[in-house]
């Protein structure tokens, strides 16, 4: 009897822990929508999302420049970070000697642990003047923000990719080598494709971090609420928009910032669905199941 | 099934927390309590004043909240706050029946990079630069809603219906970030409160007058604003005592320590 009771209790506690994240996410989404919807209605959803002008003092709210800013920074950061971290992961998992791994792994993990304000401050003091001197303009730009974001998402993608690469059964590698394939051919044609779902998971998490990052971006992106003409011009991200103005916002302005949050949430959900779908489509079938 | 119990338990917990929060709110007593609401520029000074006054008079509790100058005026009008704070000039027609007490003054400095050879600008030149009509400058501004930005718009750009600050200006979220941005770029120009200026940036003379405690006090430096305490009708009781204390030499010393200019 006692055993059954214990079994039951543990099961329920585990279930509660599992659904608590769902409850929290629903509460957050509910709250953001409840606070943001009035502004969406008043401004008009299309005017809000595709409006080019953000001037809260005149009650004009359009977040399109920020959507472009957020997506642009994220895309640039991923363009830099994905090749870098995948090659790094392959090196760590397949090529690096043991001692090198022992040094590299903790270094990369430390990179992930640095608070984003520190990255932002580093960017503001070092990277912004560097960019201004070498690329012109004010130094505050989408590119500057993307470089900081690259460094921030690199450890996430790299560690998860490395884990994925290392979790491929040794038999695959052995079989490939036994067939006469070189080490590089084995990596390229056997290990990498088999680890791809894990690597994509890493990229999705990195993408989430890039689009959600606020503090570091505020400090180096320049935050001008207009669509940047090039990657060397300043831009404002959706997250920065909320964090910059929340301190003072009242009434419609306050709700408009929550509506910005709705747009951000929707964007993240769409991106997640799309990447998961691609991941599902491109899954590698091996033998009876897939990896 | 079993999930029903769990959902039930969650509902009960949520209800208990809700009731606790509601009941907790009902228990606060308004005895010897002053609420100060308003300008975020006045907030640091008001907080320091409140803290010092509370240390001297432990039975008076003072809470200080931000929200902006307009919130300060509104809260004192509808009686939700005993004192509203306001960080620009307020004409008495705009606030009938509201008593104004000037507790400090503040100068807004126009700052440029230390390597810039600009030393002196007229108010009109500053306006043209911030409107984006001079591409040799990188304009750095504060975010929408900032008290310093509002004061700058009032004093230089001609108010809300005057000229707009250029949309391509770099927006920084704090005084320190503005300072850093200007310190790191030889072409940058920005503005900040006199209280926060240090020698990492160069302060520009406006119409030939250098901003300082003395020039703000005698009115010769024009880009300045008062820090106001507003009350509904003349202040009474504990509120009056607090305001009088703020205007006393003891209170004014704290004002000065916080970098504002004593009256």
Residue B150 in tokens: 């509002």
CA distance A181 to B10: 58
C-beta separation of A207 from A74 below 8 A:
yes
For chain A, the structural domain boundaries read 49-288
Per-residue pLDDT reduced to its tens digit, B60-70: 999 998 877 87
The CATH number that applies at residue B81 is 3.40.190.10
What is the distance between the alpha carbons of residues A180 and B180, in angstroms, rounded to a whole number? 59
Judge whether B16 lies within some domain. Answer: no
Question: pLDDT tens for residues A83-112?
Answer: 999 999 999 999 989 999 999 999 998 988
Alpha-carbon distance of B38 to B64, in angstroms, equals 8
pLDDT score for A2 = 63
> H-type helices in A167-224, by residue range?
170-178, 183-186, 192-212, 215-221
3-state secondary structure A72-133: HHHHHHHHHHHHHHHHHHHHHHHHCCHHHHHHHHHHHHHHHHCCHHHHHHHHHHHHHHHHHH
3-state SS, A9-40, equals: HHHHHHHHHHHHHHHHHHHHHHHHHHHHHHHH
Chain A residues closer than 8 Å to B181 by CB: 124, 128, 140
pLDDT, tens digit (0-9, with 9 covering 90-100), for A109-146: 898 889 999 999 999 999 999 999 998 888 899 999 99
Out of A15, A23, A129, closest to residue B184 by CB: A129
Q: Name B146's Cβ contacts closer than 8 Å, sequence gap at least 6.
A: A248, B40
Q: Check pLDDT > 80 for residue A291.
A: no
Res. B145 pLDDT band, cuts 50 70 90? confident
Q: Place A164 in a pLDDT band, splitting at 50, 70 and 90.
A: very high
Cα separation, A138 vs B63, whole angstroms: 41
**pLDDT tens-digit series, residues B97-142:** 899 999 999 999 999 999 999 999 999 999 999 999 988 899 999 9
* pLDDT value for B40: 80
Residue B251 belongs to domain spanning:
39-263
Segment B9-14 mean pLDDT: 73
Distance CA B129, CA B114 (A): 18
How far is CA A159 from each of CA A88, B50, B129, rounded to the nearest angstrom? 9, 50, 48
pLDDT in tens, A191-241: 998 898 889 889 988 999 999 999 999 999 999 999 998 999 999 999 999
Does the distance separating the beta carbons of B170 and A225 come in below 8 Å? no
Tracing tokens 């490939």 back to the chain, one arrives at A176
DSSP strand pairing (B83-86 vs B205-206): unpaired
Distance (Å, rounded) from C-alpha B242 to C-alpha B51? 11
Tell whether B12 is covered by a domain.
no
Instruction: Give tens-digit pLDDT for B30-61.
Output: 358 899 998 888 888 999 999 999 988 888 99
DSSP state of B164: P
Contacts of A9 (CB under 8 A, 6+ apart): none
* B14 is a domain residue: no
**Distance (Å) of CA A140 to CA A281, B49, B251:** 39, 38, 41
Percent of chain A topping pLDDT 70: 96
Between A and B, how many CB-CB pairs are < 8 A?
81
Average pLDDT, chain A: 89
Q: How many helices (H) and strands (E) does chain A have?
A: 13, 2
Q: Is residue B117 assigned to a domain?
A: yes
SS3 (DSSP) at B260: coil
CA distance B117 to B115: 6
From the list A12, A129, A223, the residue facing B171 with the nearest CB is: A223
CA distance B108 to chain A (A): 20
**Angle at B243 (CA atoms; ends B240, B246), nearest 5 degrees:** 150
Q: Which of A214, A85, A205 is nearest to A151 (CA)?
A: A85
End-to-end CA distance of chain A: 41
Confidence of residue B15 (pLDDT cuts 50, 70, 90): confident
Q: In chain A, which residues have their Cβ closer than 8 Å to the Cβ of B5?
A: 12
The mean pLDDT of chain B is 86
Reply yes or no on whether the pLDDT at B144 is more than 60.
yes
- B10: chain A residues, CB-CB within 8 Å: 23
> Does A219 contact B at CB distance below 8 Å?
yes
Q: Are B243 and B235 in contact (CB under 8 A)?
A: yes
pLDDT at A288 over 80: no
The nearest CA of chain B is from the CA of A223 a distance in Å of 5
* DSSP H or E stretch at residue B36: strand B33-38
Residue A65: closest CA among A180, A188, A234, A205: A234
How large is the average pLDDT for residues A235-255? Answer: 87
Short-list B132, B128, B125, B175, CA closest to B151: B175
Q: Cα B188–A138–B158 angle (5° rounding)?
A: 45
Structural domain total, chain B: 1
Task: Please give the CATH superfamily to which domain A49-288 belongs.
Answer: MetI-like (1.10.3720.10)
Q: What's the CA gap between B207 and B120, in Å, rounded?
A: 7
- Joined together, the tokens standing for residue A266 give 């929707």
Interface touch A124/B181, C-beta < 8 Å = yes
- Lowest mean pLDDT of A65-74, A205-214, A268-277, B131-140, name the range: A268-277
State yes or no: pLDDT of A30 exceeds 70: yes
A 130-169 residues inside an 8 A Cβ radius of B: 132, 138-140
Q: Any idea which residue has 């430390």 for tokens? A: A110
């Amino acid at each position: 009897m006692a055993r059954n009771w214990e079994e039951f209790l543990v099961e329920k506690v585990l279930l509660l822990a599992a659904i608590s994240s769902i409850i929290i996410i629903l509460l957050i989404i509910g709250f953001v929508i409840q606070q943001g919807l009035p502004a969406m209605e008043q401004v008009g959803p299309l005017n809000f999302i595709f409006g080019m002008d953000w001037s809260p003092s005149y009650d004009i709210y359009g977040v399109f420049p920020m959507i472009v800013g957020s997506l642009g920074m994220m895309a640039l950061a991923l363009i830099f970070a994905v090749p870098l971290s995948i090659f790094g992961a392959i090196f760590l998992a397949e090529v690096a000697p043991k001692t090198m791994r022992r040094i590299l792994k903790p270094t990369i993990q430390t990179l992930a642990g640095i608070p984003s304000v520190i990255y932002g401050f580093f960017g503001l003091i070092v990277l912004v003047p560097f960019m201004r001197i070498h690329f012109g303009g004010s130094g505050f730009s989408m590119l500057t923000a993307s470089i900081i974001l690259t460094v921030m998402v690199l450890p996430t993608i790299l560690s998860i990719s490395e884990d994925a690469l290392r979790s491929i059964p040794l038999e695959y590698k052995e079989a490939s080598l036994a067939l006469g394939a070189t080490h590089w051919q084995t990596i390229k044609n056997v290990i990498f494709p088999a680890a791809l779902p894990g690597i994509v998971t890493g990229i999705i998490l990195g993408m989430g971090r890039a689009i959600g990052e606020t503090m570091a971006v505020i400090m180096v992106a320049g935050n001008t609420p207009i669509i940047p003409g090039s990657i060397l011009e300043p831009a404002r991200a959706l997250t920065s928009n909320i964090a910059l103005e929340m301190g003072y916002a009242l009434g419609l302005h306050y709700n408009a910032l929550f509506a910005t949050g709705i747009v951000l949430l929707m964007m993240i959900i769409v991106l997640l669905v799309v990447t998961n779908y691609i991941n599902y489509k491109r899954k590698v079938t091996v033998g009876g199941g897939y990896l | 099934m079993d999930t029903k119990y769990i959902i039930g338990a969650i509902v009960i917990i949520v209800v208990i927390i809700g009731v606790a929060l509601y009941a907790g709110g009902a228990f606060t007593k308004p005895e010897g309590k002053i609420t100060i609401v308003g300008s975020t520029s006045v907030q640091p000074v008001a907080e320091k004043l409140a803290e010092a006054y509370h240390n001297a008079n432990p039975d008076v509790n003072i809470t200080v909240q931000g929200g902006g100058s307009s919130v300060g005026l509104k809260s004192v009008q509808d009686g939700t706050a005993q004192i509203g704070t306001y960080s620009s000039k307020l004409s008495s027609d705009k606030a009938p029946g509201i008593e104004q007490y000037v507790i400090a003054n503040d100068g807004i400095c126009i700052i440029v990079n230390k390597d810039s050879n600009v030393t002196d600008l007229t108010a009109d030149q500053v306006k043209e630069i911030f409107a984006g009509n001079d591409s040799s400058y990188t304009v750095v501004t504060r975010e929408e809603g900032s008290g310093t930005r509002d004061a700058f718009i009032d004093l230089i750009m001609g108010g809300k219906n005057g000229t707009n600050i250029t949309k391509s200006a770099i927006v920084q979220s704090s005084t320190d970030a503005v300072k850093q941005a200007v310190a790191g770029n030889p072409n940058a120009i920005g503005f900040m409160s006199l209280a926060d200026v240090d020698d990492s940036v160069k302060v520009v003379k406006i119409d030939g007058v250098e901003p300082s405690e003395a020039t703000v006090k005698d009115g010769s430096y024009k880009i300045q604003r008062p820090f106001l305490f507003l009350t509904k009708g003349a202040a009474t009781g504990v509120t009056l005592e607090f305001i009088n204390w703020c205007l006393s030499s003891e209170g004014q010393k704290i004002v000065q320590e916080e970098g504002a200019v004593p009256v």
